[in-house]
Amino acid sequence: METEIRSHKTRKFAKNWVVVSLIVIGGLIMLFLLLLGFDNLYYSKRIYPGVQVNDIPLGGLTIDAALAELEARLWSADKVELIVADDQTMVFPLSELGLAWNKVKTKREIIEAGRGWSGYRARLDYLIHKKPLIIKPVLAVNEAKLAEAAAHLAGIIYRPPRDAYCTVEGETVTIHSEQNGCFLKVKELRNLLGEALCRAETAITVPIGEWPAPLTASELKGYGFDTVMASYTTTVAAGNPDRTENVRLSAAAINGYLMAPGDLFSFWAVVGEATLEKGYRYAPVIRAGEIVPGIGGGMCQVSSTLYNAALLANLTIVERYNHSLAQGYIPLGRDATVAYPGADIKFINSRDHHVLIGSELTNNKLTFRIFGPPMEERVEILSGKAEQIAPPVRYEKTDALPEGVTELVRTGVPGYRISTWRVVYRGDTEIKRELLSHDYYKPRETVYRIGTGDD
């Protein structure tokens, strides 16, 4: 009997507990729904706590107040400063870069932040861990316009690499350091612009890539240009400053010219055509066997002097022509005429190391030097005995002179035939003899006038 009474009380208590539990749970659900409704109503026109755009806190603000805050602290930036170097900056309006703030999309994202199931979880993280809901501002990008602006900027920044180089003064070689090239990293700039602007940063260091120069000063120093391998000097006749200026200009164009093993030197490729715009002047040149004024007269003395230096440095001659008339500044068989764009002087650096060509014009002395490691061989230039050709005589009749009267108009110049060799020695032993040329120089005729007029 007592057992039945105890069992009845237990069942009644359990039933009451279930009822109470259901009432409590129902109450809690009602409270949750009530709070949820209030929350939704309160934040229907507000931004949820913890929401921020970058480091701009917007939580608790009305939507209008949040937009005003973004306008003041973010969207008011309508220009960007691009820092190219320590002393060079450029300011671009965002519109010129094809960039604009997408305010509509940003507004939608800050309003939606904290809503929905994932939003509740994010809000819970903020309540418990103070972890903010960070929204990135949205940029609208006109890709074509941005590409155009980047191309313009790239053109300003671009600098090709400059090799290390040598300057020569007399027998002194000075080595100048290389300069690396630089270029704009276009893709990286695009990313930086977006990231920096979205962080409200309006000063951006432009990403610049470096382009190493192929030839460095340390390499040049290893080429051994402290030694003169060979040199040759000719005398530039005084009295014609225009011709001397042509010699100076063309020799200076070659000064400091570097040749790697196997390189081909061409006078015209290095010096270029003689023009008045380059500063060349009229001076005597040989054309069709006659001496006449021409632009660049005197350049042949430069090519001839260089030819002899190249011979003595034991470089391989590829192309060379003698003058039609013998020249007083250099021995027969040793000259090298040039005439743009045809006759040229060409030679190859047939040595196993670099060589450097230096020129100097001082006190009417033109010298070419070939710099490089000391030569193991010795070179001599030998010429055979010149065959002299007597100048022909031409008589011109004129009635400007009385009959029987003869007048010398021009004294002739003999012509020559001569052969020239290059002889190479190691010590006192001849190891090579090379025929360089068989040259012919035309004689220049003697001219007389014979009178046919009346006395």
For domain 376-455, give the fold.
Answer: Resuscitation-promoting factor rpfb fold (2.20.230)
Q: Which residue has the tokens 């003697």?
A: 446
Length of the chain: 455
Give the amino acid at 393.
Answer: V
Confidence check: pLDDT of 298 > 50: yes
Rounded CA-CA distance 123/455 in Å is 130
Helix/strand/coil (H, E, C) string of 91-160? Answer: EEEHHHHCEEECHHHHHHHHHHCCCHHHHHHHHHHHHHHCCCEEECCCEEECHHHHHHHHHHHHHHHCEC
| Mean pLDDT of the 314-323 span | 97
Provide the phi-psi class of 204: left if phi over 0, else alpha when psi is between -120 and 50, else beta.
beta
H/E element holding 335?
none
Q: Could you tell me what percentage of the chain is helix, strand and coil, using 3-state DSSP and rounding each to the nearest 5?
A: 35, 35, 30
The region, left, alpha or beta by phi > 0 then psi within -120 to 50, assigned to residue 393 is beta
Cβ–Cβ < 8 Å for 225, 166: yes
DSSP states of 258-270:
EE-TTPEEEHHHH
Nearest-angstrom CA–CA distance, 20 and 13: 10
pLDDT at 36 > cutoff 60: no
**Which of 333 and 127 is assigned the larger pLDDT?**
333
Task: Give Cβ neighbours of residue 411 (< 8 Å, ≥ 6 apart).
Answer: 446
User: Is pLDDT at 88 greater than 90 in this prediction?
Assistant: no
- Give me the residue label for tokens 């069942």: 11
For residue 85, name the pLDDT band (cuts at 50, 70, 90): confident
d(CA 367, CA 235) in angstroms, rounded, equals: 9
Q: Which range, of 8-22, 26-40, 163-177, 282-296, averages the lowest pLDDT?
A: 26-40
In the chain, % of residues over pLDDT 90? 58
State the Rg of the chain over Cα. Answer: 46
Lowest-pLDDT choice from 106-115, 239-248, 251-260, 373-382: 106-115
pLDDT of residue 431: 96
Q: Mean pLDDT over residues 48-73, rounded?
A: 83
> At 38, is the pLDDT very low, low, confident or very high (cuts 50, 70, 90)?
very low
Handedness of CA 237, 240, 246, 252 (dihedral sign): positive
Give which of 351, 320, 353 is closest to 337, Cα–Cα: 320
Residue in 130, 132, 66, 155 with CA at minimum distance from that of residue 103 = 66
Q: Which of residues 101 and 218 earns the better pLDDT score?
A: 218
Which residue type occupies 403?
Answer: E
> What is the per-residue pLDDT for 10?
63
Report the b/e string of 104-140 with b at 16+ CB within 10 A: eebeebbbebbeeeeeeebbeebeeeeebbebebbbe
pTM value is 0.71
The domain spans of the chain are 1-38, 46-217, 223-375, 376-455
